[in-house]
Amino acid sequence: MLTKKHKWVLELETKHFVETLMIGNYKTHFKNKWIEFADFREYQIWDDAKSIDFITSSKVWKTLVKLYEEERELNVHFLPFFGEEINFELNNINKRDIFEEILFILWISTVKQQNKFWSIYYNSWARSLFPLWKGISHFYDYFSKIEKNNFWNNNNFIKNILTKKSEQNISDKLKYFNNLKINNSLVFLFTSDLEIDEKQLKIAALKNDLVICNIFHSFENNLDEKWIVWFTDWQKDLFIDLDNKNKKEKYRELRKNKVINFRKIVRKSWATYLYFDEKINIFWELYKFFKSR
């Protein structure tokens, strides 16, 4: 998990590069240039000089640009749909760190663009809604909650099964999100799952600009280790003999096909698919995403 020192270092390292990540690089599917005049705002260094309204500017002694429907505030929604797998760690690399770095980069872009953000997250199947707002303090409050979130509590496993609590998988959680009537927003869904209800996925992608971020530790898909690796869960100890080349290759092929099929389902539903692990340059991947839009 990122320490306080690491978070500040990460912010300093990324802030310079991502401060204009969304500016001029991103347009949602629901906004087209020059549709509707919305308001004026003061000229900023990245604005196109063609958008300056010289008549209005001369009246108020300020350089103003026309603000169109395309440039209104964008609501950004974060959906971290994880289970206990988010805490998987090997060779001092934790999946949670990958997720937090992505979150940090997206946050800096969101704040610099003065967009509002909102989130829904789960802990032991308990649902929490983080309010729609903007600003640095708002994000740090959210980030501290995410850091403390276990995403899973084994002590309540039997209790939740007996009480038949729902929303235990990504499809159920996405269905709840769809019922919230959220529209025309940029939605980032973070998950390690490779299965999802296509119907719920299509509904979410139809109403919003949906981006599915698959987050893994590279070991999960490649088994790039030797000898025997031991795992401990709440029930029993497990181990994998990584010297068995045949089983290793079968596993790799299975995982590869699962990732490919999941990506196909996402793209077929008109959502965007992004893949992340510790070997991926996170900033570059997000930069390409924004540029491609």
What residues does each domain of the chain span? 4-24+73-292, 37-71
| Structure tokens given for 282 | 């996170």
- pLDDT at residue 248 is higher than 60: yes
Average pLDDT of the segment spanning 227-248 = 61
- What SS3 state is found at 232? strand
Ranked by mean pLDDT, which of 3-17, 41-55, 135-149, 254-268 comes out on top? 254-268
What pLDDT is stored for residue 191 in this prediction? 95
What pLDDT is stored for residue 155 in this prediction? 44
What pLDDT is stored for residue 58 in this prediction? 81
CA-to-CA distance for 28 and 216, rounded, in angstroms? 27
Triad 291, 131, 88: Cα angle to 5° = 65
- Mean of the per-residue pLDDT values of the chain: 77
CA-to-CA distance for 59 and 41, rounded, in angstroms? 14
Q: What percent of the chain has pLDDT over 90?
A: 30
Q: The tokens 């959210």 sit on which residue?
A: 142
- pLDDT at residue 154 is higher than 70: no
Quick one: CATH architecture of 4-24+73-292?
3-Layer(aba) Sandwich (3.40)
- pLDDT at residue 112 is higher than 60: yes
CB of 166 closer than 8 Å to CB of 96: no
291 or 253, greater pLDDT: 253
